[in-house]
Structure 1
Amino acid sequence: MVEIYDHTGAAVKHGRARVNGIRMHYVTAGEGEPLLLLHGTPKTHYYWYRLIPLLTPHFRVVAPDLRGFGDTDKPPAEEGYDSLTTATDVAELMTALGHERFHLHGEDRGAEFAYALAASRPERVKTLSFCEMLLSGQGLEEWSNFTPEKVSSQFRMDGVWLWHIPFFWIPHLPEMLIAGRERAFWEFWIKAETWNPNAITDEAISEWIARLSAPGGLRGCLETYRAGLKNARINEELIKTKLTLPIMTIGAPEFFGTLVRDQMERVSQGVTRSEVFEECGHSLALEAPERLARALTEFMLDR
């Protein structure tokens, strides 16, 4: 495992927590207001290695490996990979660490989990940073449609064709096709979503591939997609009560762009800060860590 360091050069602190029927791996660093970071696919807590030292002067950062990822348990599918289950996982983690209220930042699938946590437990979340994601059942799936408009949208910078969503949902077939070719597949897939492919280092790819190649790693990752239809039903209930807490959205023109802001404005009482990071792609914390850290600090420390 590759290590992460805070702004003083000290290594982050690793921990294991028994939460919601699983054993969760996480790291902590820094002092100040608690800030929970939720990663996307197919990443782990290591996704935040450039961001954490920029945040630790201001926040007590908590970065778990989510259910199905990294060194956290990967239980059978029937035990749940949906957004509310993951929200419960990380809510119990923050309770175990003594943080009853906290700031919350999620990217990609981690942003959907962050929304589910904020919407189901609004009393616990001080601020929500919802970045580079759309919600299941609220626009995400329509961008996976195989139509000329959707396929060509990524060349016009006004949308993105999410071909992988139905592919990852299919039981067993993705595992058969990807197993043994993990690095070739995921490196291409992750870098294709960036503005600057060099922002995704060989070291980061190697770290994620090591976890995906471990027992249950690939299956655990894909189960979060197979929960997509359940997540859509969950979101249909959650959006009946609009969020009122402060929300920031960030999109990138090489992926979701302004769609992120539009999404949150439909399910909340209004977004208080919204940005599109120019010359940036889907992996904000690796492509634009300084801009992201500045946005998070300015947005959250005002609250």
Structure 2
Amino acid sequence: MKTERIEGADGVMINVAVEGSGPAIVLLHGFPQTHLMWRHVAPALAGEFTVICPDLRGYGDSDKPAEATAYAKREMARDVLAVSERLGFRSFALVGHDRGALVAFRAALDHPREVTHLASLDVLPTVDMWEVMHGVSAAVGFHLYLMAQPPGLPERMIEASSDEFFGHFLDLWAIDPQAIPAGIREQYLDACRKAIPSIVADYRASAGIDVEHDETDRKNGTKLAMPVTVLQQDWGAALGFDAAALWRPWAPDLVHESVPYGHFMAEEAPEAVVKAVRSLLLR
């Protein structure tokens, strides 16, 4: 896919890959990845849609603001709207994986007129995630607690062994190791090496301001106004919760599927992801 830098919110420049023509679908990547994670999904959708794949601010070749407040998901969501509008689209479907799914969730809550459909891949809303993490089962999310710490120590610890740190998740979360070949893996690791402070800031925001925003919306009864599809590993079997039950209060029009793929499902099972997105867009 061809990439270009497009101005997002507040002058932040966003690296964006665009392919195809027709109505817009925005695909938001997760951790520890870049827009390259959509390399199988985007071409399959580009025959019917304009597929827009940004690097989130702080990741890949997008700008990496120094301000901690820049990584609130509300701010990152504003990039998505700004980029889409500059490409000529005032409304769009939105698909997010992992960190990108948290940005997509916030964009859909804050901008229901612009986001027509929402797909979330393997994540819980931030406030729900923190509430279900407890006891020894929370060890699987050790990185969430590490990067929630005040600035300084987390960054230094990760910088001391960045390839091992980020590579740990690429290895642990993939059921099919061949889904992320060596060349793509190296591009992910290289991008992460250059983005440690901003990646940590993104996670730190999810232990602070993002929770506050979610709690306010939950208290006010704010719902996702569009059709929502969630594809999720069966976390409940390991961590003791019902993921679909956590999603339902947020999404009245919900299709929730527990899937047998690994966390990197857009790379491990792209045909299934494309099928789910196509089904979502028919609702």
TM-score, with length taken from structure 2: 0.91
Query: 2:235 and 2:213 mapped to 1: Cα distance?
Result: 28
What corresponds to 2:34 in structure 1? 44
What corresponds to 1:114 in structure 2? 104
What corresponds to 1:230 in structure 2? 209
Which of residues 251, 265, 268 in structure 2 aligns to 1:268? 251
The structure whose residues are more often helix, as a share, is 2
Query: 1:259 and 1:91 mapped to 2: Cα distance?
Result: 32
Deviates more, 1:175-184 or 1:71-80: 175-184
1:186 aligns with 2:166: yes
What corresponds to 1:205 in structure 2? 185
Query: 2:243 and 2:93 mapped to 1: Cα distance?
Result: 19
The DSSP-based 3-state class of the residue aligned with 2:222 is coil
Aligned residues: 276
What corresponds to 1:14 in structure 2? 3
Percent pairwise identity: 27
Amino acid paired to 2:129: L
Give how far 1:135 is off.
1.5
1:164 aligns with 2:139: no
Confirm or deny: 8 A CA contact 1:144 1:166 kept in the other structure: no
Give how far 1:66 is off.
0.5
The DSSP-based 3-state class of the residue aligned with 1:118 is helix
Distance of aligned partners of 1:254 and 1:78 in 2 relative to their CA distance in 1, 3 Å threshold = closer
Confirm or deny: 8 A CA contact 2:69 2:205 kept in the other structure: no
What corresponds to 2:67 in structure 1? 77
Distance of aligned partners of 1:200 and 1:255 in 2 relative to their CA distance in 1, 3 Å threshold = farther
Deviates more, 1:250-259 or 1:24-33: 250-259
The DSSP-based 3-state class of the residue aligned with 2:59 is coil
Query: Cα deviations across residues 23-56 of structure 1 (Å, max 9, x unaligned)?
Result: 1110100122210011111211111112112211
Distance of aligned partners of 1:224 and 1:255 in 2 relative to their CA distance in 1, 3 Å threshold = farther
Amino acid paired to 1:163: F
| Structure 1, unaligned runs of 5 or more | 1-11, 152-160
Query: Cα deviations across residues 123-161 of structure 1 (Å, max 9, x unaligned)?
Result: 011111022111222x2113443x24545xxxxxxxxx3
Query: 2:160 and 2:178 mapped to 1: Cα distance?
Result: 24
Give how far 1:259 is off.
4.7
| Structure 2, unaligned runs of 5 or more | none
CA RMSD in angstroms comes to 2.0
